[in-house]
């Protein structure tokens, strides 16, 4: 039998952490693209100003979406039960995200083909949809995970979903969606303010500051709602953390305040919500003061803290079931085999550093302000 240096329990924890890192990487890197798209009709008023913002994200948005591909691949390979249940339950929501994301490359390419202002404005609003809708729906999805998703498993572990698309749009889920939009807009505004000049940067600081404050307020409201207004989920039976995956081998109960129990057991976890709140407030201050790199670091820290808060609150759950709580998926019963996780970890140890190095090199090459003059000198500009 192949010797694997890390035991099954540790390997599952490693892949839970890696999934979180990939989601955070996507939110930080592609989140600023979504934020810039959302701000496009508001931070930029003229055709020239909108071209500046489009060329700010145009050279790098495809590379940033690698994090989304990696996250989807990690769920598919490391957490197949989670992939099956979530992709079937959130099917229409994911289709809406994909259709919105498709508008982005089409908008970039088609916008400049015709000089008619109405044509270009139409594509500007398409780029707004391509930024706003994915950010909103991603947050709504996280909100629904905290609420519990109505799915069940049969004896063969085949998932069945009993909810509807509009059933996902509950008040708490929409609140989570607005938190997601706010943090992406703040991230996008921080990048615009750092790399653009003049009225565009000034408007980005104004709208981004408002978004950062809104993110902090809604995140705090969401935390209070989770602590005092939502039932969480807790495993009340013994669970073997190194046993083969079988989500039906446990008993789960719903309890008030269960989602904040981890913070009582492990106070160090409070770093995550504190980072989400303080990072948003620091981002607001940085935008108001005209700081550049510190503001990007602050808004990135806010994203890290907000997503980490959701993951740490849910742990060990990956996808709780509101209709059949015992079928809820956890870190200990929804993963691939020990050997599969190990082989994937080796591949990740090789390719993830390469992706990070390449991304760093790209941003170094593309550094510097994006202005009307720089666009005029670039024959490949959008």
Nearest to 224 by CA among 175, 169, 281: 175
Q: What are 215's two structure tokens?
A: 């993110």
Kind plus residue range of the DSSP H or E element containing 129? helix 117-147
DSSP structure string for 74-95? HHHHH-HHHHHHHHHHTHHHHH
Tell whether the torsion through CA atoms of 163, 79, 11 and 30 is positive or negative: negative
Residue 109: pLDDT over 90? no
Judged by DSSP in three states, 5 sits in coil
Number of domains composing the chain:
1
In a domain, 195, yes or no: yes
In a domain, 200, yes or no: yes
Gap between the Cα atoms of 50 and 54, Å rounded: 6
Number of H helices, E strands in the chain: 14, 6
Q: What percent of the chain has pLDDT over 90?
A: 70
Nearest to 177 by CA among 296, 310, 323: 310
> What does the pLDDT read at residue 2?
57
Q: 155 pLDDT band (50/70/90 cuts)?
A: confident
Kind plus residue range of the DSSP H or E element containing 208? helix 198-229
Kind plus residue range of the DSSP H or E element containing 330? strand 329-330
Mean predicted lDDT score pLDDT of the chain: 92
> What does the pLDDT read at residue 1?
45
pLDDT tens, position by position, 11-64: 999 999 999 999 999 999 888 999 999 999 999 999 999 999 999 998 888 888
Gap between the Cα atoms of 103 and 356, Å rounded: 27
In a domain, 61, yes or no: yes
In a domain, 187, yes or no: yes
Nearest to 227 by CA among 320, 313, 330: 313
Q: 69 pLDDT band (50/70/90 cuts)?
A: confident
In a domain, 121, yes or no: yes
Distances (CA, A) of 122 to 119, 135, 326: 5, 20, 48
More confident of the two residues 189 and 163? 189
pTM (predicted TM-score) = 0.93
pLDDT tens, position by position, 234-290: 999 988 898 999 999 899 999 999 999 999 999 999 999 999 999 999 999 999 999
Q: What are 332's two structure tokens?
A: 């200990």
Q: What percent of the chain has pLDDT over 70?
A: 99
In a domain, 347, yes or no: yes
Residue 250 CA, distance from chain mean position:
30
Q: 211 pLDDT band (50/70/90 cuts)?
A: very high
In a domain, 374, yes or no: no
More confident of the two residues 180 and 89? 180
Q: 6 pLDDT band (50/70/90 cuts)?
A: confident
Judged by DSSP in three states, 152 sits in strand
Reported residue count of the chain is 382
DSSP structure string for 215-273? HHHHHHHHHHHHHHH-EEEEE-S---TTSPP-TTSS-EEEEETGGGHHHHH-GGGGHHH
Gap between the Cα atoms of 192 and 211, Å rounded: 14
DSSP structure string for 168-203? G--HHHHHHHHHHHHHHHHHHHHHHHHH--HHHHHH
Residue 202 CA, distance from chain mean position:
27
Q: Do residues 291 and 117 make contact, with C-beta atoms less than 8 angstroms apart?
A: no
Structural domain boundaries, residue 355: 8-368
Nearest to 296 by CA among 47, 304, 177: 304
């Amino acid at each position: 039998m192949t010797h694997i240096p890390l035991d099954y329990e540790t390997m599952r924890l490693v892949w839970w952490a890696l999934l979180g890192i990939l989601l955070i990487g996507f939110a930080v890197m592609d989140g600023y693209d979504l934020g810039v798209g959302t701000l496009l009709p508001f931070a930029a008023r003229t055709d020239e100003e909108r071209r500046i913002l489009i060329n700010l994200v145009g050279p790098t948005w495809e590379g940033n979406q690698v994090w989304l591909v990696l996250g989807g691949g990690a769920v598919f390979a490391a957490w197949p039960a989670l992939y099956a249940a979530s992709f079937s339950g959130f099917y229409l929501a994911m289709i809406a995200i994909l259709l919105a994301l498709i508008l982005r490359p089409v908008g970039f390419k088609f916008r400049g083909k015709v000089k008619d202002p109405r044509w270009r404005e139409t594509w500007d609003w398409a780029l707004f949809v391509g930024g706003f809708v994915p950010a909103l729906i991603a947050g709504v999805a996280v909100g629904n995970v905290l609420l519990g998703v109505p799915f069940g498993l049969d004896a063969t572990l085949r998932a069945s979903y009993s909810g509807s698309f509009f059933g996902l749009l509950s008040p708490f889920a929409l609140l989570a969606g607005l938190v997601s939009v706010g943090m992406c807009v703040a991230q996008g505004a921080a990048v615009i303010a750092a790399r653009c000049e003049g009225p565009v940067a000034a408007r980005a600081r104004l709208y981004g500051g408002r978004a950062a404050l809104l993110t902090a307020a809604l995140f705090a409201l969401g935390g209070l709602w989770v602590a005092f207004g939502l039932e969480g989920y807790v495993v009340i039976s013994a669970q073997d953390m190194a046993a083969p995956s079988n989500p039906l081998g446990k008993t789960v109960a719903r309890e008030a305040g269960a989602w904040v129990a981890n913070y009582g057991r492990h106070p160090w976890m409070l770093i995550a919500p504190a980072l989400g709140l303080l990072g948003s407030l620091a981002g607001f201050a940085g935008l108001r003061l005209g700081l550049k790199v510190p503001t990007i670091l602050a808004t990135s820290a806010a994203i890290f803290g907000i997503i980490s808060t959701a993951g740490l609150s849910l742990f060990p759950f990956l996808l709780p079931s509101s209709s059949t709580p015992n079928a809820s998926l956890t870190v200990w019963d929804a993963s691939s085999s020990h050997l599969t996780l190990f082989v994937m970890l080796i591949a990740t140890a090789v390719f993830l550093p390469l992706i990070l190095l390449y991304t760093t090199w790209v941003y170094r090459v593309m550094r510097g302000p994006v202005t009307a003059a720089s666009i005029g000198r670039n024959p490949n500009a959008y």
